[in-house]
Amino acid sequence: MNFQKTLKNELTCQSVGLHTGRKITMTIRPAASDEGILLVRRDKDRGHRIKVSLENVTDTTLATTIGTNGTAVSTVEHILSAFSGMGVDNAIIEVDGPEIPIMDGSALPFVEMVKKAGTCMQEKLREYLVVTKPVHVSEGESYAMFVPSASFEITYRIKFDHPSIGVQSYHLIVSDESYEQEICNSRTFGFLKDVEYLQARGLALGGSLKNAVILDETRIINKEGLRAPDEFVKHKILDAIGDLSLTGMPVMGHFVAYKSGHKLNSMLLKALFEQKESWTTATAVNIQEPYEALNALDAPSYKMLNAVHA
């Protein structure tokens, strides 16, 4: 587990883009050690590779968008989540359009692609980002935070004024197995009134019951219903795993969030990197319980942590 991984073979899929409605063809390919995840727009400059990193985030409205030099790829969070959840450190993603295909609205198709392509160990050690002190950000009643932990953990709580959602909480110790079994098949979701509003303005043009859980004022309108009773909060965790992979390395820390999203997730990563005393890097997973972790929590951190676990 301490060594980097890439894909053994390349694989291609095709689906519509959630926001453009365009048919997108995507190919995933192996990449060399230390290259990380790279994006290529085949419909633009095939030789221009966009490094997936926090500094290259150009937008967090409705999805996470990565770009440089005027070229961007949006809706990257699901495939990044799949790569992170399945331990893929280095890969090239080629698309012939402006976004990643939405597939069924979850990360399951991408996990299946990774398994079909196969993975292989590389010669370089994997570097981990180790959270050493609490960091938190908030916006209105929403917040996100990191606290030290000897593993990658996520505690997420959502609250929607809808009878099919209400309040949902979930805690996950992230591993290849837990990600595949508990998280990856959770679909994106939206409200019918919002989808209609967005589509009238040229957005969410690819959204349908085939790639999202849609709710009207009182119920879920997908005939097949949910894949799990807590699919909503699990999809938020799926998104968060994709967004947190923008660190460029696996995280050793506990991510705690209440009503967070792409924007707040990105804000938390920026705050973490700005507070250099709050993290370090290591190349081994047998890190001891970090630095009297929870004893170092400040009052706002305690309040947030207790609220999410309530």
Q: Are the beta carbons of 78 and 242 closer than 8 angstroms?
A: yes
Q: Pick the catalytic residue: 136, 235, 254, 262?
A: 262
Alpha helices by DSSP H, 28-76: none
Is 262 one of the catalytic residues? yes
Tell me the C-alpha distance between 303 and 308, whole Å: 9
Nearest to 259 by CA among 147, 157, 140: 157
Chain CA centroid to CA 70, Å: 23
Q: Are the beta carbons of 154 and 268 closer than 8 angstroms?
A: no
Q: Are the beta carbons of 293 and 192 closer than 8 angstroms?
A: no
Kindly write down the DSSP assignment for every residue of 62-85, as one continuous string: SS-EEEETTEEEB--HHHHHHHHH
DSSP code of 17? B
Name the residue with tokens 């209609």.
196
Nearest to 16 by CA among 94, 99, 76, 91: 99
Contacts 24+ apart (CB under 8 A), 218-227: 218/163, 218/164, 219/163, 219/164, 220/164, 221/192, 227/185, 227/186, 227/187
Residues annotated catalytic, as ranges: 262
